[in-house]
Amino acid sequence: MKRPRMRPTFTLPIDETPDAVFRRVAERLSRDDCPISGLVARHHVELTTCRARRHTWSPILVVETDPNATEGRGLRGRFAPHPNVWTGFMALYGLLGMGAIGATMFGLIQLRLDMPPWALLGLPLALVVGAFVYGAAFIGQGLGADEMYEIRSFLDRCVEGLPDRASERP
């Protein structure tokens, strides 16, 4: 059983060069009926849900060439929250860490001065809130699971050279 990960990562072997796959992705992203939006750079692709359907919990897929692949024929992808959301999570962790250190220092000073160390309650409080923030990442992952599947399917179809699902409709 695989344990959940904060930022799921995968590798994808390809039969052609990454540049050919990235050109195909760029061509499909430029279509008006594409349900995915994104950015294609030299050796880097970012895919996400189109702006009209995007939510706070919408994921972003970052795809790069895999340096460990044989002959450079592999891609490495990582799902993550939108950079604004990721920055918010890291800011919360930073604030909780600083708060825990401050509460511990203040509580130790209270102990040294023979005062009741009520400030030490900040340490378990910071740990509980940190655990909640960590769990919220998995809740967001669950809410964005359908979008993760849609983005990954789009990438797989680009890699395999299959037509878009939108073009298959009558």
DSSP class of 117: -
CB 91 within 8 A of CB 21: no
Residue 156 has pLDDT above 60, yes or no: yes
Cα(32)–Cα(164) distance, integer angstroms? 12
- Per residue in 102-130, is it b (16+ CB within 10 Å) or e — as a string? ebbeebeeeeeeeeebebbebbeebeebb
Q: What is the pLDDT of residue 95?
A: 97
Listed residue (54, 45, 44, 41) closest to 84, CA to CA: 54
Listed residue (129, 121, 52) closest to 89, CA to CA: 129
Strands (E), 14-168: 36-40, 44-49, 59-65, 74-81
Taken in order 116, 118, 121, 123, is the CA torsion positive or negative?
A: negative
CB 75 within 8 A of CB 12: yes
Residue 169 has pLDDT above 50, yes or no: no
Q: What is the pLDDT of residues 87-132, one digit of tens each?
A: 998 999 999 999 999 999 999 999 999 999 999 999 999 999 999 9
